[in-house]
């Protein structure tokens, strides 16, 4: 418990300055790194023909994002197919099969990093660097750029200009992702994570057998894997292997790495919407009071934290309770459920890592989620179904704002208050788009899960009978639709059916949400500010925060409780009954 509390305390300490820094980047204010990075950015703009002064509306911003990502998908797919060439391929890896190449390239471009292959045997160093690591940067930068544009739209300081996607993409990469990745890479190398271009090493073990030890640029991939909330491992066992995560210190470094930017996005949001007061169009009545997070940011941060801490407590408690089947067999469970966990981390760090990686939608794992207790496994599953508990690359913030708008509308109807948010009226168009955005996520999860359990191709991949088999299916599509990428494992997913269906879930889960959310921000951006009155529902109070958390859980219950009751809940009752 001390390890958990100290990790969370360090997160709170470092997320504040990172959030302030992201705020300055998003609003084009001066930073300490400008003398160096301005030259780098301007050089990139000149080579690529980017005009930093050319602003974009939401439609042009979305089109630029989608087309840029599509071009990267095309190039990356070709590289995966021809990786058999002797270019940075000392281990002689062959080209990747068509459906797996489709799944992999969609996975990494959508920041999901779902892996239906083992990295040490499925990818050459060329693919690891030019496709996997490269897309970990660009997919994360695309997501954060969309988040920044979304917040600019909500702040409404400019009624037509949401920013320039290409400028945001470059600035997020050079000023946030690259510097942090370099720091984390050096820290991981210090802890013993390999960083080289050597071929795999074959050694003789203490038992007298021969074993291949993976080499390669592991530390560089590990850093952006966590900083960019990507999650795809260089190795098949991900961060549960000592080559990716050798010590308790490296484990904490990786935990904090995947937490800081999603948390910082909320602080950035709070400070940007607070800056509405600098616009002459904003009435004095809605000028935000100064606070560290900004009052609106504080509401979102506290709501996310409440949901996260509830999930962490349930996961930790369930894993510490152990497995009653093993107790009945005469085996001690005093250390909790240690199946599938590394002894160097134990239950506490495993439960924290599990909750963080699915709350911050990273997808990296330091234990096998398939071996979690039913309730312990339900928490990462539920948080991916919610997809708003901090989330990754700004996704959690954008999704939580959808629920804030929904809460404003529902509470306004209940008490007869005007549905307003951030000084703008919430009308029919915004509510229709919000409802559509909220519905898409569960639709993808439940529809694809239904197809999987109703077809021979889907059933062929399920390796466990009964309730746990359904949990495997739900987890795979929840991970895909939430762009998380972690897996229950045990699912035989490298088949045409699973590669195509999860690829589609990842694609629609990523881009449909971004398009709709930017459309909502674009609509709100063009609205006139209205004066606050006695009929205005305040969204920066404790009461509203509690209402927001309750509405999130109520919607989750109405949407997912039936299928969860047939999966992890039924498995728990059977096991403990």
Determine how many CB atoms are found less than 10 A away from the CB of residue 47: 8
Give the Cα separation of 496 and 498 in Å (integer): 6
Give the Cα separation of 203 and 124 in Å (integer): 21
Give the Cα separation of 381 and 478 in Å (integer): 7
Residue 284 is predicted with a pLDDT of 44
Write the Ramachandran bin of 390: left for phi over 0, alpha for psi from -120 to 50, otherwise beta: left
Share of the chain above pLDDT 70, in %: 97
The whole-number average pLDDT for the span 5-28 is 94
Give the Cα separation of 169 and 105 in Å (integer): 19
Residue 418 is predicted with a pLDDT of 77
Q: What share of the chain is helix, strand, coil (3-state, %, to 5)?
A: 65, 5, 30
Q: What is the pLDDT of residues 90-147, one digit of tens each?
A: 888 999 999 999 999 999 999 999 999 887 888 999 999 999 999 999 999 999 999 9
User: pTM of the prediction?
Assistant: 0.92
As given in the structure block, the two tokens for residue 12 are 């709170």
Residue 430 is predicted with a pLDDT of 94
Residue 293 is predicted with a pLDDT of 67
Residue 475 is predicted with a pLDDT of 95
Q: What is the pLDDT of residues 338-361, one digit of tens each?
A: 999 999 999 999 999 999 999 999
Which ranges of 192-247 would DSSP assign to H, the alpha helix?
218-227
Confidence of residue 158 (pLDDT cuts 50, 70, 90): confident
Give the Cα separation of 114 and 415 in Å (integer): 44
Give 33-37's long-range contacts (Cβ < 8 A, gap of 24+): 33/175, 33/179, 37/174, 37/175
CB within 8 A of 482, min separation 6: which ones?
361, 384, 385, 387, 441, 509
Q: What is the pLDDT of residues 197-253, one digit of tens each?
A: 888 889 998 888 998 888 889 999 999 999 999 988 888 889 999 999 999 999 999
Give the Cα separation of 520 and 171 in Å (integer): 24
Average pLDDT, the chain: 91
Compute CA distances 518 → 24, 272, 430, 508, 526, whole Å.
21, 16, 11, 15, 12
Determine how many CB atoms are found less than 10 A away from the CB of residue 542: 9
In which residue are the tokens 């940007």 written?
Answer: 272
Residue 292 is predicted with a pLDDT of 61
Asked if residue 202 lies in contact with residue 233, where contact means CB atoms within 8 angstroms, the answer is no
**Phi and psi at residue 137, in whole multiples of 5°?**
-75, -50
Residue 442 is predicted with a pLDDT of 96
Residue 331 is predicted with a pLDDT of 82
CB within 8 A of 256, min separation 6: which ones?
7, 10, 11, 14
Determine how many CB atoms are found less than 10 A away from the CB of residue 368: 19
Give the Cα separation of 379 and 307 in Å (integer): 10
Give the Cα separation of 486 and 479 in Å (integer): 6
Beta bridge partners of 201: 213
Closest CA to 420 of 549, 522, 533: 533
Beta bridge partners of 341: 367
Asked if pLDDT for residue 287 goes beyond 70, the answer is no
Confidence of residue 277 (pLDDT cuts 50, 70, 90): low
Residue 159 is predicted with a pLDDT of 79
Give the Cα separation of 265 and 285 in Å (integer): 26
Residue 329 is predicted with a pLDDT of 85
In which residue are the tokens 């963080």 written?
Answer: 356
Q: What is the pLDDT of residues 362-384, one digit of tens each?
A: 999 999 999 999 999 999 999 99
Decide: helix, strand or coil at residue 320. Answer: helix
Closest CA to 389 of 551, 236, 536, 549: 549
Give the Cα separation of 222 and 228 in Å (integer): 10
R_g of the chain computed on alpha carbons: 23
Q: What is the pLDDT of residues 377-434, one digit of tens each?
A: 999 999 999 999 998 888 899 999 999 999 999 998 888 877 889 888 999 999 999 9
């Amino acid at each position: 418990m001390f390890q958990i509390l100290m990790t969370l305390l360090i997160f709170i300490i470092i997320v504040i300055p990172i959030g302030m820094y992201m705020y300055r980047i998003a609003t084009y204010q001066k930073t300490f790194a400008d003398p160096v990075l301005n030259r780098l950015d301007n050089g990139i703009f000149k080579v690529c023909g980017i005009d930093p002064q050319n602003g974009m509306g939401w439609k042009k911003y979305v089109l630029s994002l989608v087309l840029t990502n599509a071009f990267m998908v095309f190039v990356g797919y070709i590289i995966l197919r021809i990786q058999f060439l002797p270019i940075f391929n000392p281990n002689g890896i062959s080209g990747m099969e068509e459906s797996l190449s489709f799944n992999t390239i969609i996975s990494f471009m959508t920041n999901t990093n779902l892996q239906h292959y083992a990295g040490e045997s499925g990818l050459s160093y060329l693919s690891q660097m030019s496709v996997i690591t490269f897309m970990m940067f660009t997919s994360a930068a695309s997501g954060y750029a969309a988040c920044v544009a979304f917040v600019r739209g909500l702040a409404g300081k400019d009624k037509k200009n949401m920013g320039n996607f290409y400028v945001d993409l470059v600035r997020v990469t050079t000023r946030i992702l690259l510097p942090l990745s370099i720091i984390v890479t050096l820290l991981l190398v210090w802890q013993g994570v390999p960083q080289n271009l050597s071929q795999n090493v074959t050694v003789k073990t203490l038992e007298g057998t021969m074993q291949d030890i993976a080499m390669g640029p592991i530390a560089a991939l590990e850093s952006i894997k966590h900083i960019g909330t990507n999650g795809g491992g260089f190795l098949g066992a991900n961060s549960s292997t000592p080559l990716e995560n050798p010590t308790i210190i490296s484990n904490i470094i990786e935990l904090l790495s995947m937490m800081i930017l999603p948390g910082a996005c909320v602080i950035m949001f709070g400070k940007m919407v607070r800056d509405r007061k600098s616009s002459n169009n904003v009435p004095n009545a809605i000028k935000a009071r100064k606070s560290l997070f900004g009052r609106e940011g504080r509401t979102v941060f506290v709501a996310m934290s409440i949901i996260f801490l509830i999930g962490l407590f349930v996961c930790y408690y369930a894993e510490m309770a152990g497995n009653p089947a093993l107790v009945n067999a005469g085996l001690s469970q005093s250390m909790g459920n240690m199946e599938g966990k590394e002894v160097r981390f134990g239950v506490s760090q495993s439960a924290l890592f599990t909750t963080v990686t699915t709350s911050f939608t990273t997808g990296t794992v330091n234990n096998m989620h398939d071996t979690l207790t039913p309730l312990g496994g339900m928490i990462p599953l539920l948080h991916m179904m919610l997809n708003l508990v901090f989330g990754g690359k700004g996704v959690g913030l954008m999704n939580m704002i959808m629920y804030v708008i929904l809460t404003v509308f529902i509470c306004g109807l209940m008490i007869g208050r005007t549905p307003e948010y951030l000084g703008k009226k919430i009308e029919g168009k915004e509510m229709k788009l919000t409802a559509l955005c909220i519905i898409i996520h569960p639709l993808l999860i439940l529809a694809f899960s239904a197809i999987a359990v109703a077809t021979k191709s889907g059933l062929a991949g399920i390796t466990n009978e009964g309730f746990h088999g359904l949990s495997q299916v739900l987890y795979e599509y929840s991970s895909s639709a939430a762009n998380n990428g972690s897996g229950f494992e045990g699912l035989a997913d490298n088949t045409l059916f699973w590669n195509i269906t999860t690829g589609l879930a990842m694609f629609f889960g990523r881009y449909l949400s971004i398009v709709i959310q930017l459309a909502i921000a674009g609509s709100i951006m063009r609205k006139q500010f209205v004066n606050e009155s006695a009929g205005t529902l305040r969204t920066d109070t404790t009461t509203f925060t509690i209402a927001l958390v309750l509405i999130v859980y109520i919607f989750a219950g109405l949407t997912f409780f039936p299928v969860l009751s047939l999966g992890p809940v039924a498995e728990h009752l059977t096991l403990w009954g």
